[in-house]
Structure 1
């Protein structure tokens, strides 16, 4: 059994960030498909900007995102800072604000999660 926290920090600008998103989603899918693994997929920082696009059924990555959506949450503070708080609220995804409005990375480490960032 593996505990993995995949954190998408890459914003929506540039081809390299699209690659980081795709790789992060593929890695998350691999953990989600493995019985016994625990997955937390967190969109944080500029990564929160992906939520409106991924929720769009016409997005190239919508289907892949749907495979891990149940394990997905979003930084509360950053969704506001990057102007996507309405889209995040409409998505119904959980928002995390454990540490000064942000997800608590320390609590994930304390719970024996491997932290992987994209």
Structure 2
């Protein structure tokens, strides 16, 4: 059994950012497909912008996102800071605000999660 926290930090501005997103989603999918693993998929910082992008059914990676969307959560503070509150609401994603509006990395480490950032 593995505890993994995949944190998407890459924004939406470049081809490299898209590559980091896809790699993160593929890694999340691999963990999600193993029933023995625990997965946290967190969109944080500029990564919160992907929530709105991936909502579009015509987006190249919409289906990949949908395959792990049930595991997804969003930094509460960053969703507001990057203007994606409506998309987060529309998708019913969990907002994480354990550490002054942000996810608590320390808490995940304390819970024996491996934290992998993209």
Scaled to the shorter chain, the TM-score interval is over 0.9
- Unpaired runs of 5+ in structure 2? none
Map of 2:90 onto structure 1: 90
Cα deviation, residue 32, structure 1: 0.5
What SS does the corresponding residue of 1:89 show, helix, strand or coil? Answer: helix
Map of 2:46 onto structure 1: 46
How is 1:17-32 mapped onto 2 (pairs within 5 angstroms)? 17-32=17-32
What SS does the corresponding residue of 1:115 show, helix, strand or coil? Answer: strand
How is 1:5-16 mapped onto 2 (pairs within 5 angstroms)? 5-16=5-16
TM-score (norm 2): 0.98
- Unpaired runs of 5+ in structure 1? none
Map of 2:115 onto structure 1: 115
The two structures, once aligned, show a CA RMSD in angstroms of: 0.6
> How many aligned positions are there?
118
